[in-house]
Amino acid sequence: MASTAPPIVPLGNEPPDGAALQHSHWRMRARLASGLRRGESFLESAGFDRAPWLVVALAGGIAGWFVLPGPAQWVGLIACGLVLAAVAAWIFPGEDQFPYLRQSLAAMSLALVAGCVLVWGKSALAGAEPIARPQVAVLDARVLSREDRPSEARIRLIAATRDPATGRAIRVRLNLDGAQDQSGIDTGALIRIKTRLMPPAPPMLPGGYDFARSAWFVGLAATGSVLSQPEVLEPAPPGGSLQRLQRSLSEHVRANLSGSPGAIAAAFASGDRGAIAATDEEAMRDAGLTHLLSISGLHVSAVVAAGYFLALRLLALIPWLALRLRLPLVAAGAGALAGIGYTVLTGAEVPTIRSCIGAVLVLLALVLGREPLSMRMVAVAAFCVLLFWPEALVGPSFQMSFAAVIAIVALHGLPRVRALTAPRAQPWWEAGLRHIASLLLTGVVIELALMPIGLFHFHRAGVYGAIANVIAIPLTTLASMPLIALALLADPIGAGAPFWWLAGKSLELLLGLAHWTAGLPGAVTAMPAMGRGAFALFLAGGVWLALWSGRVRLWGVIPAAIGTLLLAALDPADLLISGDGHHVGITGEAGDDLLVLRDSRSDYARDNLTEIAGMNGTTRLLADWPGARCNPDFCAITMRRDGRNWNLLIARGKELIRERELAAACERADIIIADRRLPGSCRPRWLKADRALLSRTGGLAIDLDGGEVKTVAAQEGHHGWWQPGQPKAEAAPQ
């Protein structure tokens, strides 16, 4: 007979009754409400400004689309944003309950979603599918734009044509040798050319420059070089165009001012940088002055300010107008027109448009009696740019220009800095010293803000840029640009020569400063490729420091400090392998020198290898290194890392090798690298980086100590501009 005794319940595990459940639920709600009240109080007391943070959330959605690998993750990001917005509406249903938390969470979540959808839509609408493979063809092409590059003795053409393989309409970028140029090749011309077309190049190595991504968003399906003399089927139509006006202005400037000063002056006047010598451009970059060469905020602001103050002073001389018109409003209109005209004349590139928007917003704030430099103004300018060019977010130009402006606004919003720059009654020399100290402090803060961005994108940064800019910026805005403008205005009456001479001397001084600064010991800091995680920490810390007020802003030092520690602990990859397997770099074997497999006919491969490795030394051929054993077909080298020997076998020839001999050599190697497909019988102990593998992964950066292999494919994800090869299936490397 079955027992009817009640089950034994262990002491202390009695099921709670309804009152206990209700009490537990009440305590949980009380804790949640207490936490929400503390969050609400924090946002209210810390000076939370929604507008800049909404733009940060929009930028976060755009960045998420670029970082996440494919559509599934993008949809997941959008879904998370929508869920957070719904949670905000569900937790805070009352209009008067937790307004900061409710509005901030909902609005920022929706802004995150909007950013991801915006850039995804732009990619789908504007993206140009690259051609399938390299090819040589005879094309009939319509010239869309022309850019002269005298320093390189070539002309760059953007042309519309058809893909020889599929017949679809495509846009291509072509390099035409200066000796092949002829009359009639200009915007609107129809030409017949023999050219070699290539798909836009992906990064050569992980962390390298991604031209394929840039080409995707501007609609370029191929790049190439013209191989024969072009045949002009239809010459360019007569009449003036903006590009011809820009080119004529550049030629006029260089005709009146020769040499390097003339090339710099042409860049200031027309935005044409094609005549600047490579040595001058490198010196300006290493001195932290390269921002002066591109038409950006400094130049547009100078033109707008000149237009504003000239109009204000000239109109004030006419009493009838001064008594009847609001002169600041008219002067603001004149300054805005001057800035817009200068932007259009210099090519209306995205950085210039961005600067023009910011300058016009400053004028609008002055007219309305508002603070001209504020985070809200910066946020509006950033929103306008991201709305039309969301892809600009991941480029160095957008990041550096807005980082500089944000740093300036945040710095000059501090009470102590306001006290330093406030006008006061004092001798002129004290005022001068105070202004110099303010400029130097601003320059140091800007350099600190820009250094992580420069290291992430270019793997190098100038150290003395703050000092050089204290001289270069006033020299450019107060001497060089006004003198160039006066010379252009005086040329029609034949009185421009004195102004050209003075402008040339000021630009010689600028170039002398750049070369002197770049030549100082330790002027350039080179670092290996920075990971996205460290870069994100720097950005998060910088944004936090800039957008909060009071002591809470100091929390931004924590992620920035962690990023600095990660950067200090960063070591270069032991092996760098290009996506075609043709170029190999080996670090840590020859001191400060980089061992390379081949000499390159151009500087592109060498510069990529040394920049990603973060090395300032020279390159040495592997065949000349005593520790390597090379014959016409292969180079072998043994590298010792973390107490282990790694045997490398690197192909360098094109001759056929007997399969048995190759298989035996592969068995003795840990890693084999080749720019061609190797047979399946070649089985190294760890990795076979041949053409079959590299066509799927792109370039490789290998850390032997940790056994980590970084690939371009992992960096690119499944975005439209990444087109990996599809080799036949074979056994995966062990």
Half-sphere exposure of 180 (CA within 13 A, CB side): 21
Q: Is residue 588 part of a domain?
A: yes
Q: Kindly tell me if the per-residue pLDDT of 521 is higher than 80.
A: yes
Residue 389 to residue 409: CA distance in whole angstroms: 24
pLDDT of amino acid 326 = 82
Q: Grade residue 731 by pLDDT with cuts at 50, 70 and 90.
A: very low
Q: Kindly tell me if the per-residue pLDDT of 317 is higher than 50.
A: yes
Q: Is residue 345 part of a domain?
A: yes
Element (H, E) at 436: helix 428-458
Give residue 508's Cα distance to chain centre.
29
Residue 521 to residue 498: CA distance in whole angstroms: 37
Cβ(648)–Cβ(577) below 8 Å: no
- Burial bucket for residue 90 (CB in 10 Å: 0-12, 13-18, 19+): exposed
Q: Are residues 213 and 307 in the same domain?
A: no
pLDDT of amino acid 298 = 72
Q: Are residues 432 and 508 in the same domain?
A: yes
- Token pair in block for residue 485: 């403008």
pLDDT tens-digit map of 45-68:
665 677 889 999 999 999 999 999
Q: Are residues 104 and 188 in the same domain?
A: no
Q: Kindly tell me if the per-residue pLDDT of 548 is higher than 50.
A: yes
- Token pair in block for residue 373: 């430099």
Q: What is the pTM of this model?
A: 0.86
Q: Is residue 211 part of a domain?
A: yes
Q: Grade residue 81 by pLDDT with cuts at 50, 70 and 90.
A: very high
Q: Are residues 338 and 381 in the same domain?
A: yes
pLDDT of amino acid 734 = 31
Backbone angles phi, psi at 592, to 5 degrees: -85, 0
Q: Are residues 233 and 272 in the same domain?
A: no
Domain boundary among 212, 239, 266: 239
Share of the chain above pLDDT 90, in %: 32
Residue 440 to residue 468: CA distance in whole angstroms: 10
Q: Are residues 249 and 189 in the same domain?
A: no
Q: Kindly tell me if the per-residue pLDDT of 733 is higher than 50.
A: no
- Token pair in block for residue 405: 């402006």
Question: CA nearest 635: which of 702, 704, 586, 708?
Answer: 586
Q: Are residues 625 and 685 in the same domain?
A: yes
Number of domains, the chain: 5
Q: Is residue 16 part of a domain?
A: no
pLDDT of amino acid 29 = 63
**C-alpha angle with apex 265: 267 to 470, nearest 5 degrees?**
95
Handedness of CA 175, 178, 180, 183 (dihedral sign): positive
- Token pair in block for residue 66: 């670029």
User: Tokens 């499944």 belong to which residue?
Assistant: 718
pLDDT of amino acid 383 = 92
Q: Is residue 38 part of a domain?
A: no
Q: Are residues 218 and 315 in the same domain?
A: no
Q: Is 707 left (phi over 0), alpha (psi -120 to 50) or beta?
A: left
pLDDT of amino acid 441 = 85
Q: Are residues 416 and 478 in the same domain?
A: yes
pLDDT tens-digit map of 2-49:
444 444 434 344 445 556 556 565 666 666 666 667 666 666 666 567
If you average pLDDT over residues 485-493, what whole number do you get? 91
If you average pLDDT over residues 673-692, what whole number do you get? 91
- Token pair in block for residue 170: 């495509």
Domain boundary among 126, 151, 183: 126
Out of 31-40, 50-59, 447-456, 694-703, which region has the weakest mean confidence (pLDDT)? 31-40
Residue 171 three-state SS: strand
Q: Are residues 468 and 615 in the same domain?
A: no
Q: Grade residue 97 by pLDDT with cuts at 50, 70 and 90.
A: low
Q: Are residues 277 and 319 in the same domain?
A: yes
Residue 405 to residue 133: CA distance in whole angstroms: 43
pLDDT tens-digit map of 191-221:
999 999 999 999 999 988 999 999 999 999 9
pLDDT tens-digit map of 391-431:
999 988 888 888 888 888 888 888 888 877 777 777 777 77
pLDDT tens-digit map of 554-597:
899 999 999 989 888 888 899 999 998 999 999 988 777 889 99
Tell me the CATH number at 205.
2.40.50.320
pLDDT of amino acid 14 = 45
If you average pLDDT over residues 721-729, what whole number do you get? 61
Out of 204-208, 246-250, 481-485, 647-651, which region has the weakest mean confidence (pLDDT)? 246-250
Q: Is residue 4 part of a domain?
A: no
pLDDT of amino acid 6 = 42
Q: Is residue 32 part of a domain?
A: no
Q: What value does the mean pLDDT of the chain take?
A: 84
For residue 191, the 8-state DSSP code is: E
Do the strands 634-641 and 628-630 form a parallel or antiparallel pair, or are they unpaired? antiparallel
pLDDT of amino acid 729 = 33
Q: Kindly tell me if the per-residue pLDDT of 522 is higher than 90.
A: no
Q: Comparing 55 with 549, which gets the higher pLDDT?
A: 55
pLDDT of amino acid 615 = 80
pLDDT of amino acid 44 = 65
User: DSSP secondary structure string, 677-689?
Assistant: ---TT---SSEEE
User: DSSP secondary structure string, 82-151?
Assistant: HHHHHHHHHH--STTSSHHHHHHHHHHHHHHHHHHHHHHHHHHHH--PPPSS-EEEEEEEEEEEEEEEGG
Residue 376 three-state SS: helix
If you average pLDDT over residues 496-505, what whole number do you get? 92
Q: Please, what is the end-to-end C-alpha distance for the chain in angstroms?
A: 66
Q: Which domain holds residue 510?
A: 245-526
- Token pair in block for residue 204: 């050569």
Question: CA nearest 468: which of 486, 498, 443, 436?
Answer: 443
pLDDT of amino acid 462 = 77
Domain boundary among 206, 239, 272: 239
Residue 684 to residue 330: CA distance in whole angstroms: 75
Q: Is residue 655 part of a domain?
A: yes
Q: Are residues 206 and 305 in the same domain?
A: no
Cβ(273)–Cβ(264) below 8 Å: no
